[in-house]
Amino acid sequence: MSPVVNRPTSANLAVVGAGYVGLTTAACMSSLGHRVVCSDINESRIDGLRRGDLPILEPGLSELVTSGLGSARLRFVTDSAEAASSADFVFLCVPTPISADGGADLSFVKAAASQIRASLRPGTVLVNKSTAPAGSTEMLASLLQRPDVAVVSNPEFLRQGSAVKDFLEPDRLVVGAAERCSAQRVADLYAGISATVLVTDAASAETIKYAANAFLAMKLTYANSVAAVCEAVGADVDDVLVGMGLDERIGVNYLQPGPGWGGSCLPKDTLALIESSAEAGYDFGLLRSVAEANEAQFDRIVAKVAHRVTLPGARIALLGLAFKAGTDDLRDSPAVEIARRLSRAGAVLYAYDPAVIESAVTESAITREIPVVVAADAYEACRGADALVVATQWPQFQQLDFDRVAQLMAKLHVIDARNCLNREALQRLGFTYSGVGR
């Protein structure tokens, strides 16, 4: 492990996949001085990006894309083979969703590698940034059948909502490969970024990513379990978790109670680690319990609503749909999971999220399963509601005029699944308040 003090390099990069990770990688790498060609099979996405229209919401990303396009250091194409043909390094940033057996579905990674295989120049380094289990780097090398191309694992740790900042100011860079010099060449691409660099073997790099995400999931579940204990014994979870987290061996980050964890990474990565461990002969029982406890957490939130209102026919205002504040991503969102369970119990849902527009909800699979009306603003969602559920921690929700909310709602019940509202102020206005462990 060493602090990054590498010489500045300017290389030709191809980035395959223009989603959260690929687009952030492409834009940030071009801002570091590299010439980047980013490809995606989604033609409308590439058309938009060529005009500077971003398909995702990420602070600072639009500016970097505009500047990259302006300097011609960033280009967008639909043909990955074309992008790869002039690259010194090709980054794979394609999805690794959950497969039917709970493991990582590597079909996108394999398809992308097959598409570029023949066009890679000798000496090119293929860098896998998609989250993939131990053994995937070796699998890619044997799929390529190109001994003249090195394959390196370089897992990405960015968080949606702060992707650019996390990419440019990471806690660490992890690069793994059979040949240390190929891994070091990839690390050198990040010259200019100040971070501790861990160069290791490929299986260790791949395992670091899964082990880190599963640990974060476990920490969140621990906070939720402590919250349940606090409710049972009459303690206040906010004080308890601060008191715990101030111990520097524990730390306050990710020690927050909530509706259960979700998003595009924690659920699939936790399940994939359980699955890949089982395949390798280890039963990761601890993580299986964590995943089960997280499912139960969604039900605990629904039970809090049911404690206040009779769910069949109840009109519920749901504030928040995105899986966290700062993003418009609905993938595996806890808010959507709670909406699903409330709807199954017969509730009628009116939802509002500052970043999620109605068409995104309508076009996603969600509305086929959950009849949710997307309101124009929070007040509209609250009109006539029997209970208000806060499911995503948008700061805007704290600033609402709750006098007005109280006038609009039919019954004054608040279920604050993020512990983000002012309990005393709401109670003074006549609301009942249910938080998590408060």
Ligand X SMILES: NC(=O)c1ccc[n+]([C@@H]2O[C@H](COP(=O)([O-])OP(=O)(O)OC[C@H]3O[C@@H](n4cnc5c(N)ncnc54)[C@H](O)[C@@H]3O)[C@@H](O)[C@H]2O)c1
CB-nearer residue toward ligand X: 111 or 286: 111
Selected range binding ligand X among 92-100, 239-247, 337-345, 398-406, rule: CB under 6 A: 92-100
| CA distance linking residue 231 with residue 438, whole number of Å | 7
Q: Which of 11, 15, 21, 374 binds ligand X (CB under 6 A)?
A: 21
Output the smallest distance, CB 214 to ligand X, in A.
13
* CA nearest to 31, candidates 54, 13, 50: 13
Q: Judged by CB under 6 A, does residue 210 bind ligand X?
A: no
Selected range binding ligand X among 93-101, 222-230, 278-286, 406-414, rule: CB under 6 A: 93-101
Q: Which of 16, 152, 302, 405 binds ligand X (CB under 6 A)?
A: 16
**Residues 104-143 vs ligand X: string with x where CB under 6 A?**
----x--xx--x--------------xx------------
Output the smallest distance, CB 16 to ligand X, in A.
5
Catalytic residue among 93, 265, 382, 420: 265
CB closest to ligand X, residue no: 19
Backbone angles phi, psi at 263, to 5 degrees: 95, 180
**Residues 158-197 vs ligand X: string with x where CB under 6 A?**
x-x-------------------------------------
Task: Show Cβ contacts of residue 389 under 8 Å, excluding neighbours closer than 6 positions.
Answer: 301, 305, 316, 317, 318, 319, 338, 342, 415, 417
Q: Which of 30, 96, 277, 392 binds ligand X (CB under 6 A)?
A: 96
CB-nearer residue toward ligand X: 104 or 150: 104
CB-nearer residue toward ligand X: 35 or 331: 331
- 3-state SS, residue 365: coil
Active site residue 28: no
Output the smallest distance, CB 151 to ligand X, in A.
16
* Strand 196-200, strand 2-3: pairing: antiparallel
Specify whether the CB–CB gap between 316 and 305 falls below 8 A: yes
State the residues that interact with ligand X by CB under 6 A.
16-22, 39-42, 45, 80, 93-96, 108, 111-112, 115, 130-131, 156, 158, 160, 264-265
Catalytic residues: 265
